[in-house]
Each structure stands twice: as C-alpha cells, then as structure tokens.
Amino acid sequence: MPLLTKGRYRASLAGTPGDIAAAQALRTRAFRTGAPDRDAFDDVCSHILVHETRSGALVCCFRMLVLEGGAELARSYSAQFYELSGLQSFDGRMVEMGRFCIDPDWHDPDILRVAWGAMTQFVDENDIAMLFGCSSFAGTETAEYLDAFAMLKHRHLGPKRWLPRVKAPDVFRFAARLRRKPDAKKAMLRMPPLLRTYLMMGGWVSDHAVVDRQMNTLHVFTGLEIGAIPPARKRLLRAVAG
C-alpha cells in the first residue's frame, strides 16, 4: 500500500509475507546479527518499506506497533528492557517505532527524510499522541560516545514523571555517572542520525542506556510527544508527508 513518493524514493506499507521477508533480510544485513533478524513482533506490527524507484532496491525499513495508551505498554518491544510504569498513565494513542535501518550501501540523506515523511503520515492517520522506541548506538563500548551521552544528560532527559527506570541487567547510567560538559560538535558527530532527528523535534531520552550484546548496540529509550513538536518542524514533516 503506497504512502508517499518523493524524488527517487517511494514509501509503502508491507502488504505481503514477501515484503516482510525483504525487510527482515535488510535488517539482518544492516544489524549484522548473523542469524536472521526476525521475532514475534513482526507479526503484530505494520512495516514501512522505502524503495528506490528506478532500481526497486529496498533501502530502508522500520515497523510500527500501535497502542491505545500507556496501559498497553507491556505489549511493546521496549518493555523488555525498560521499566515503563511512569508512562502507563499517558492518555492517548501511542506508536512504537522499531527496527529502523537503512541499507549500509546507501548514504543519501533523502532516505531518512522520506522515512520520516512516511512516519508522519502514519502518525497522522492513526491519531497518535506519542511516538517512542529504542534509539541505538553501534557497538557496546561507551568511551567513544561520552560527549553524546553528556549532551543527552544536559539537554534531553525525559520528564521525571515519565522517565523509564532500570530493568535490564546491563546498563550504562550516564546521567548519574557523567560529570563532563559535552563538546557539542563531538556530541552531534557521534549521535545516531535517527536519534538526532528525534531530538530536533523535541524528543527526550531515558537516563540510562541498555547494553544489548545480542544486537551489539547501546540503546536509550526515546519518547516524542506529537503535540510538542515545534510548529516549523511539523510543517517541514507534513510537507514531505503530503
């Protein structure tokens, strides 16, 4: 089912088992997990695929799990790693965005723009009030990301009433441990592009990162209230989505 076409790229909802298999194959390549990247969430999520129109190549994919409100958070992928009781009182539809990846052989920034345009259309059509998920840093060593984590601590921690608590056995408590003032340039260079986009829209993060050795990542819980996105940023997103 087509969502939008912009320039060289077309975003669509997966409509067949073959579409989902293609997304799983791309995820396996992008995440370098060795074993095929698939799980039970694939059966209950909507999958968005971004293709390059001339070659037909699948260049980006992600999945969306719609929840009716905070009371359904236990159904989410993130709930495996974060204690989310603070968000259970959230009143409004939510969507968890997960398994976002771009083909490692493609580096066109328009791919991310089209992906966010498709995400915006999905959010609008499903009357979503909060977008959330796990934003990942490559690898499990924290040393090269200390300025990025310091920046998250100083500028982007979530509201205390919603802040996820520790649940995973292996975490990096960067908000408690880091005392350094972040170098803004180094921080943004090491910030994952997806997380950088969340933050530009007013997104917030947990006060700790989960060390996920199975996926070989460090990830932070990321939340974004749709109503809090700056108006100028909303106009840009909807211009792409439209």
Confidence (pTM): 0.94
* Strand ranges, E, within 122-206: 130-138, 165-166, 171-172, 204-205
pLDDT tens-digit readout, 132-146:
999 999 999 999 999
pLDDT tens-digit readout, 164-186:
999 999 999 999 999 999 999 99
Instruction: List residues bridging with 223 in a β-sheet.
Output: 132, 204
pLDDT band at 232 (very low <50, low <70, confident <90, very high): confident
Structure tokens of 32?
Answer: 């370098």
Structure tokens of 113?
Answer: 């723009």
- Please indicate whether residue 159 or residue 2 has the higher confidence score (pLDDT): 159
CB atoms within 10 A of CB 231: 7
Pairing of strands 209-212, 204-205: unpaired
pLDDT of residue 233: 86
How many domains is the chain partitioned into structurally?
Answer: 1
pLDDT of 241 higher than 80: no
pLDDT tens-digit readout, 62-74:
999 999 999 999 9
pLDDT band at 79 (very low <50, low <70, confident <90, very high): very high
pLDDT of residue 104: 95
pLDDT band at 199 (very low <50, low <70, confident <90, very high): very high
What span, in angstroms and rounded, lies between the C-alpha atoms of 161 and 27? 34
User: Which structural domain, as residue segments, surrounds residue 79?
Assistant: 2-241
Task: Provide the CATH number for the domain around residue 236.
Answer: 3.40.630.30
pLDDT of residue 32: 83
pLDDT tens-digit readout, 31-54:
987 789 999 999 999 999 999 999
Contact 209, 137 (CB under 8 A): yes
pLDDT of residue 223: 97
